[in-house]
Amino acid sequence: MYEQQGVEAYQAHQVERESIVLSPGVAFDLARKLLALNVSGRPYVEVVLLSRNSADTGLRVFNAIQHYGLAITRAVFTSGSDTSRYVSALGSHLFLSADAGDVLHALQHGHAAATIVPRAPHDSVDSGAKPNELRIAFDGDAVLFSDEAERVYQASGLEAFSRSEQAAAATPLEGGPFRGFLQALHRIQTEFPRDQQPIRTALVTARSAPAHERVIRTLRKWGIRIDEALFLGGLDKSEFLRAFGADIFFDDQRRHVESASRVVAAGHVPHGITNSKQ
């Protein structure tokens, strides 16, 4: 409605349908599982709504939040302007948006951010996940880690990349934009016994041996446990993400995101040398 008929038609549409509950969107299950972490009165997670709606048109969104019983109480409505400028003020560890410009601005200011891509309809696979267990998967280079290794690959090819990573195996990689978010998840994990974990994380990377060692040593240096690590050597990631049961997957390369979105909600992280070229 907004794209085809403009803002006034959109505003009228939302107000007229204020009592009609919106259907769950692509981030609904992620938000629900994040909020489910707040057990026994411990506020581990807060989800805040940042919206380009006005407060008037945003009332329909709040009605839907109440209908589904989501414990979301804070919101910012910007009436069409960039929402990312409030990420720092909120102390957010993760910013998700369908607006690529807002996501890029958030990344440029040092925040973990991704453009969320809708998941296509698909048949589910039994991953063994518990009903409220949160499963998050990450690519490595330019997401959890810096793009320093990816720059070698882009400039000189796979063989040079492998030699470089093998030579630097004992040198930890610098952190990427999602290091802080992974650390925040890890802090929550440490509050629970190993057999009662509400969060499971996975590294899903195109790396293979011998480039695996530097990644493992980097995570060890950071003091972060990653639950599953998949070194796929260039294989398509989508079926592995389905088998893991990811609620969302973050990758810097759009082609990987589009492939993954066939089976999971996916977020494109427009960071690093690959995106600079584009």
Residues 202-250 have pLDDT tens digits of 999 999 999 999 999 999 999 998 999 999 999 999 999 999 999 999 9
Instruction: Say which CATH number the domain at 220 has.
Output: 3.40.50.1000
E strands in 69-172 = 75-77, 95-97, 113-117, 134-138
Number of structural domains (the chain) is: 2
In contact, 139 and 267? CB cutoff 8 Å: no
Question: Are residues 147 and 265 located together in one domain of the fold?
Answer: yes
Instruction: Say if 128 falls within a structural domain.
Output: no
My answer on whether 44 and 145 are in the same domain is: no
In a domain, 123, yes or no: no
Mean pLDDT of the chain: 92
Catalytic residue among 102, 139, 251, 252: 139
| Residues 55 and 95 grouped into a single domain | yes
- pLDDT, residue 229, reads 97
Domain boundary residue, one of 117, 147, 169: 117
Same domain membership, residue 252 and residue 144: yes
Both tokens of 26, joined, read 């692509």
Q: Is the pLDDT of residue 130 over 80?
A: no
Q: Could you tell me the residue range of the domain that residue 56 belongs to?
A: 2-117
In a domain, 125, yes or no: no
The dihedrals phi and psi of 217, each to the nearest 5 degrees, come to -70, -30
Q: Which two tokens stand for residue 236?
A: 């398509």
- By the 10 Å C-beta count (0-12 exposed, 13-18 middle, 19+ buried), 133 is classed as middle
Please say if 82 is a catalytic residue. Answer: no
Q: Is residue 126 part of a domain?
A: no
The model carries a pTM of 0.92
| Residue 34 and residue 26 in contact, taking contact as beta carbons nearer than 8 Å | no
- Which of 66, 87, 117 finishes a domain? 117
Q: Is 250 helix (H, G, I), strand (E, B) or coil?
A: strand
pLDDT digits (tens, 9 = 90+) for 176-208: 999 999 999 999 999 999 888 999 999 999 999
pLDDT of 277 reads: 72
